[in-house]
Homo-oligomer: A and B are copies of this chain.
Amino acid sequence: MSQQSEYSEGDLRNTGMSLKHDREWDYELERIVDEIDDRDAAKVGLQFPEGLKRRGPKVADDLRERVRDDVTIMLSGQPCYGACDLDTYLMKRTDVFVHFGHSPMKDTDKVIYVPLFSNVDVTPIMEEALETLADPDDDPEVGLVTTAQHMNLYEEMREFLEERGYDVDSRRGDERLTHEGQVLGCNYASADVPANQILYVGGGKFHPLGLAMEHPDKHVVIADPVNNVVTVADTEKFMKQRYGAIHRAMDAEKWGVIFCTKIGQGRWEQAQDILDENDDAYLITMDEVTPDRLRNFDMDAFVNTGCPRITTDDGPQFHKPMLTPGEYEIAVGHEPLDSLEFDTFHGTW
């Protein structure tokens, strides 16, 4: 790999440079302005995920320059962690509601989704990742997945691999996913392919760690063009935490069963099933599932029917063991310990 700029060489994860890396987003302002004009909108709501909230005021400025003076632009201050996590208050009270950073989870004209495609060049890091994939002469089959931010380059990624002798296994997954090859933090159905190795192209470890937990038999290679590093997903720490949480919950008498009220994170039937069969289970409803909010509930353990990544990634921060519905079944003795699977989320709302 040739040196392209002062930022293009080396692993940037701990340098503070990763966020300064050459990234620009396309906010698709003209598409939004057209919708505002078409609908003669008076109120426009903008929702950004946490990592992009800082850009909100600038985007509001850019829109205000382009629309009538009497249009009110409203920025959602609610936390947002996915396409599942719409600010429904704002959505219902604005004429145009724009959700940035994610691709549509459901086909609806109530929401304008602006996925924010990244302009980061993925080929240098894919070149580097070849060393970590099997040689195509030994095992040519490779699954290829990415996130909403890089979907615009998916065909380029596929061609890159095919030109080097790989057979790319690719599928769309289920209805929760918009695009072929797309993964979400809670859904890796696009990696349900025969290949033994999966190449994930995208920023961070959040998505590939879920992928590796969902597919423990596959070799998951992470080509991260944002932090400029290639790694292999290692789930050992997470799996130890999951088994630890299950064991600590085995003696629990009082269970808090969390039903998440976020539009795309509710699994009512799973919550109801647990309540029906366990007299010591209490249903707790909430949108943000945080350690602070649960500390006031004097339970021995919790089972979270909402976002599985709260359970697996934030689990150790809660004051009592926090399990997925499948882990709950193990802890109460309905299922054997070796039935442990990563909790995934399907369907929309």
- A residues touching B (Cβ–Cβ < 8 Å)? 45, 50, 53-54, 56-57, 60, 72-79, 87, 89-90, 254, 258-259, 261, 272, 275, 282-289, 293-294, 296-299
Contact = CB atoms under 8 A, between A and B. Distances in A.
A231 to B, nearest CB: 27
B287 A78 contact: yes
B297 A56 contact: yes
Contacts of A294: 77
A85 to B, nearest CB: 14
Prevailing SS type, chain A contact patch: mixed
Nearest to A48: B296
16 contacts: A53-B297, A54-B296, A72-B275, A72-B283, A74-B284, A75-B282, A75-B283, A76-B284, A76-B286, A77-B284, A77-B285, A77-B289, A77-B294, A79-B293, A89-B285, A288-B288
A308 to B, nearest CB: 18
Given A73-B282, A75-B284, 19 more contacts: A45-B285, A50-B296, A53-B296, A53-B297, A56-B297, A57-B254, A57-B298, A57-B299, A60-B282, A72-B272, A73-B283, A74-B284, A75-B285, A76-B285, A77-B294, A87-B285, A89-B285, A89-B287, A90-B285
Contacts of A297: 53-54, 56-57, 75, 77
Given A50-B296, A79-B293, A293-B79, A283 B74 contact: yes
B286 A77 contact: yes
A295 to B, nearest CB: 9
A289 to B, nearest CB: 8
Contacts of A284: 74-77
Contacts of A75: 282-285, 297
A334 to B, nearest CB: 21
A182 to B, nearest CB: 25
Nearest to A279: B64
A74 B285 contact: yes
Nearest to A259: B74
A173 to B, nearest CB: 29
B282 A57 contact: yes
A259 B296 CA distance: 27
Contacts of A283: 72-75
A89 B288 CA distance: 13
Nearest to A55: B298
Contacts of A56: 282, 297
Contacts of A50: 296
A73 B53 CA distance: 37
Contacts of A54: 296-298
Contacts of A89: 261, 285, 287
A72 B75 CA distance: 36
Contacts of A293: 77-79
B72 A286 contact: no
Contacts of A298: 54, 57
